[in-house]
């Protein structure tokens, strides 16, 4: 054994012993909260306080309502990207004509509830078979197969009618 190898062998042995003491899971990759301390990702700063122009114009305090200094991350992100966050719910003026035309025959206020109930009933009638239930196989596509649009047939129908179709569905496999 040469003199250089004799010096290198103890150093390699020390490195091997120390590396065996390391933990299997590095702590830097663990993003879960492990202690009782604060969660850095849950801290959202409040907006700075501002003095109103006129105290009489302030809205009446409502229990449970939002505060002017409460964080509004979605609206802030929209404003930072150059958009205009909507303060009040409603239809923007640019879309008023579209909404009035679409609702010319009336609007069902409970449409979501009614559709959810009808869909639940439809899926109950098209319930999964025994083996599908045992192996947790989704029956969504089988239940709605007759309602699905055949995109290739529609493409051919549009092309036969002379409609320009710049985009086509992916080819069948």
Tens digits of residue pLDDT in 97-129:
888 888 888 888 788 899 989 988 887 787 777
Q: In which domain, by residue range, is 130 found?
A: 111-160
Q: What percent of the chain has pLDDT over 90?
A: 6
Per the structure, how many domains does the chain have?
1
What does 68-90 look like in DSSP terms, one character per residue? TTS--HHHHHHHHTT----SS-S
The pair of three-digit structure tokens given for residue 148, joined into one six-digit string? 């699905």
Residue 45, domain member (yes or no) = no
pLDDT in tens, 26-66: 555 555 666 677 666 677 777 788 888 888 888 777 777 77
Residue 135, domain member (yes or no) = yes
CA atoms of 59 and 68, how far apart (whole Å): 11
CB environment 153-170: b (16+ within 10 A), e (fewer): eeeeeeeeeeeeeeeeee
What does 109-127 look like in DSSP terms, one character per residue? TTHHHHHHHHHHHHHHHTP
Dihedral (CA of 97, 102, 106, 107) sign: negative
Instruction: Reply yes or no on whether the pLDDT at 11 is more than 90.
Output: no
CA atoms of 155 and 163, how far apart (whole Å): 9
Dihedral (CA of 29, 30, 35, 38) sign: positive
The predicted structure's pLDDT at residue 100: 86
Considering only residues 97 and 20, tell me which one the structure prediction assigns the higher pLDDT. 97
**What mean pLDDT is predicted for residues 59-80?**
80
* Cβ atoms of 151 and 172 closer than 8 Å: no
Residue 133, domain member (yes or no) = yes
Residue 148, domain member (yes or no) = yes
Residue 15, domain member (yes or no) = no
Q: What is the mean pLDDT of the chain?
A: 78
pTM of the model: 0.33
Residue 64, domain member (yes or no) = no
CA atoms of 67 and 157, how far apart (whole Å): 56
Residue 123, domain member (yes or no) = yes
Residue 156, domain member (yes or no) = yes
The predicted structure's pLDDT at residue 75: 83
Task: Determine the Cα angle at 41 with ends 36 and 47, to 5°.
Answer: 115
């Amino acid at each position: 054994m040469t003199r250089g190898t004799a010096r290198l062998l103890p150093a390699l042995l020390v490195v091997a012993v120390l590396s065996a003491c390391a933990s299997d899971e590095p702590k830097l990759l663990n993003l879960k909260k492990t202690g009782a301390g604060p969660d850095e990702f849950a801290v959202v700063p409040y907006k700075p306080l501002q003095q109103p122009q006129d105290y009489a114009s302030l809205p009446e305090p409502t229990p449970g309502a939002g505060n002017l200094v409460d964080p509004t991350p979605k609206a802030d992100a929209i404003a930072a990207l150059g958009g205009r966050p909507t303060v009040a719910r409603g239809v923007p003026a640019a879309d008023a004509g579209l909404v009035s035309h679409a609702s010319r025959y009336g609007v069902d206020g409970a449409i979501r509830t009614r559709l959810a109930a009808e869909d639940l009933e439809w899926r109950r009638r098209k319930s999964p078979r025994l083996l599908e239930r045992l192996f947790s196989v989704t029956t969504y596509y089988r239940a709605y197969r007759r309602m699905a649009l055949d995109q290739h047939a529609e493409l051919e129908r549009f092309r036969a009618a002379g409609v320009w179709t710049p985009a086509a569905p992916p080819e069948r496999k």
